[in-house]
Structure 1
Amino acid sequence: MVDEFEKGVQVVPTICGQSFHGLSGEAGFEQTAPAPGSYVERRSVVDAAAAEVWGMVDGHVLLVSSGTGGLTCSRAPGKNSSRRDTNIAVTLSTTSGSGTPGRTVALGSSSRTVVFGSSVCAASAGVHAALVVPHSHESAGLAVAFAVSAVALATAAVALALDAGPTVTTMIALLLVGVAVAYALSRTTGIPGLTVHPEPLDAFGTVVSCMELMAAWALVRPPTRRSRS
């Protein structure tokens, strides 16, 4: 995560493809965040045909340009402009201590976090789905619980891949924590209404639960700070 720029950093969400102020021949709109030093993250659809050089820093897609110029937005050749083709990016503008403009960085969503979270949700969904039939002989309620968990986790994997916004990531993180806690209860005290006695601890289930907790933390953790000159 790119953060902790020089004093005076501002976050500018830039939306291309709407109306208002034009950017590099495209219709766009610029709005500066209310307070310097704040951090705003938006899911980004990065245009591979952009003129500037794109790079990766901690899994984030970055567009770096010098001077005070803002984000340059361009579309692929032959692509028709429409409201459905809206690209969203975040521009971080830095200013040096002497007041000299620094550089502008366009920050996209953390693809690594999204891939990791979606993968864990999908894997956990598969595990729970595979356990539905074996547990149906033990308890119908337990089989239903596994089936519901599998469907919820599969839905979470798809939802996270489509929309990694703060509301979605928080809800998915809570789901992952809930599933991990349910596993811990099933191995310690039992789950009222589902399991009468605690089941023996197994290494595979423990690893899956640890991965669920790691994914939950990755989805809701605050941005790490690192200096970039």
Structure 2
Amino acid sequence: MAILLLVLLLWYSGLFFQSFFLHRYAAHQVYTMSKRTEKITFFLTWLCQGPSYLSAYGYGVMHRMHHAYTDTEKDPHSPKYDHNLFAMMWKTKNIYGDINNKRIEVDQKFTKNVPQWKNFDRFASSRGSRIAWIVIYTIIFVFLVTAWWQWLFLPILFLMAPIHGVIINWFGHIYGYVNFKTTDTSKNLFRFDFLMMGEGYHNNHHKHSSRANFGGIHWYEIDVTYMIMRFLNKLNIIKLK
């Protein structure tokens, strides 16, 4: 039971910061926050994503490219041009690394105002940080595991952020329903997105990429991340546009 609670905690906390900070702030900037709050959010993203930490700069730039080139050969991740999800994951990893380490030239329209904290990213993305998190997770499992099958969750925690990405960028372009006709294959995975906290409303998002609320087209499309954002807005921690 303790292991399952830990997995759920890390799944949803890591997913929240991926959606709230990396996606809706770094890539789409649907709200603003102070520089101090931004740095705190960088830290919380690292704390919750652990060994699979993603840079706001690398994620933000790559995601903007995804929207600009969806389902074309220039798309960093597309089921249309990648033979399987593992090939897509590997391609995405390489493009993310090239962007984050500035090994390729990127059009300024994709980098404009994308948040970057170079020193922290260097630490949080380092091999040492990732190994330390792997060791910490493994030690926790040693103390909490009560059955052999619970060990199967450990590699999921190691690769949690890429797994979140695959669910949306692979399955969210193959399975589900659509509210809007678009020029791409984006789909809504669930009518109530219990798994991805609103990220699963992918067709809605591709139609209205500047909206903070990914759901809301039908009464059952509840975007949990957006609900939390509204609460943070009332507390003046962020300011929704």
Q: What TM bracket, shorter-length normalisation?
A: under 0.3
**Bigger proportion of residues as strand:** 1
Structure number with greater Rg is 1
| Length-normalised TM-score, structure 1 | 0.28
| Length-normalised TM-score, structure 2 | 0.27
**Bigger proportion of residues as helix:** 2
